[in-house]
Amino acid sequence: SSGDRFPQRAEETDLQMITAQLMSPGKGILAADESGGSIHKKFESLLIPDDEEHRRDYRNIFLSTPELEQYINGVILFDETTKQLSDDGRDFVSFLTAHGIIPGIKVDKGLVNFPDSEEKYTDGLEGLRERLDEYYERGLRFAKWRAAFEVRGTDFPSELAIEKNADILATYAKVCQDASIVPIVEPELVYDGNYTLETSIDTTSKILDCLFDALGKQGIKLESCILKVNMVMAGKQYPIQSTTEEVGRATSQVLRAHVPRKLGGVVFLPGGQS
């Protein structure tokens, strides 16, 4: 059972241990947390009925892959999936834990517009602690929260939107650590835009500075926190695309300059790239 593998209530060292497990080299974290809207589009395009049974079957294909634990440290689940059963009758949380894979959960409730603005913030702080306590009791040990930023001209994203989303991410991270859950903070500069590599460098740097300032104000233990971030590259619609070498160089330079060394780890989001 999940209780056999993980402590009943994590102390600070246990949160660091789980963070280290999630970041152990040579393996990744599988994001299996597509929202209802995303999975509906996918199923509709393939003429698959979008019902609970087919969504279970779809997730089961990935999670029951033989020897998955050799390649995956953790899986981010959608709420519905945490309550569904694998083919052997165990719930997916227990199934993954038994294979040495740490189960996690997406806890944000998606993007909503700021009042009288096209810019967005991420909803879901209301009732978060109660949800996290329930997830912890069911064996989930880390969480993910995404904030998304689009580039449209020189003042979009605005400083206000960056600051507000950073504050929300930091508040989420604090609630997670108080609930003995490792937070993954995901500030995404959306790739599907028309902007230069230089704009990506500047904007990602601003977002990271603001985020770590907010995390510091909340007293987040960075050793027990993971950053999930975009690659630093020109937007998908920009006519001159960044080369692999440019992306690697720009991304590593931005991370070295703007991410504290004691952070538990950095993982990358696919963001629609090949």
Q: Choose, from 106, 144, 206, 228, the residue flagged as catalytic.
A: 228
Question: Is 186 in the active site?
Answer: yes
Question: Is 228 in the active site?
Answer: yes
CA–CA separation, 236 vs 193, rounded Å?
A: 6
For residue 94, how far is the Cα from the chain centroid? 21
CA–CA separation, 89 vs 84, rounded Å?
A: 9
Q: Choose, from 186, 198, 206, 246, the residue flagged as catalytic.
A: 186
For residue 91, the tally of other CB atoms under 10 A from its CB is: 18
Name the residues annotated as catalytic: 186, 228
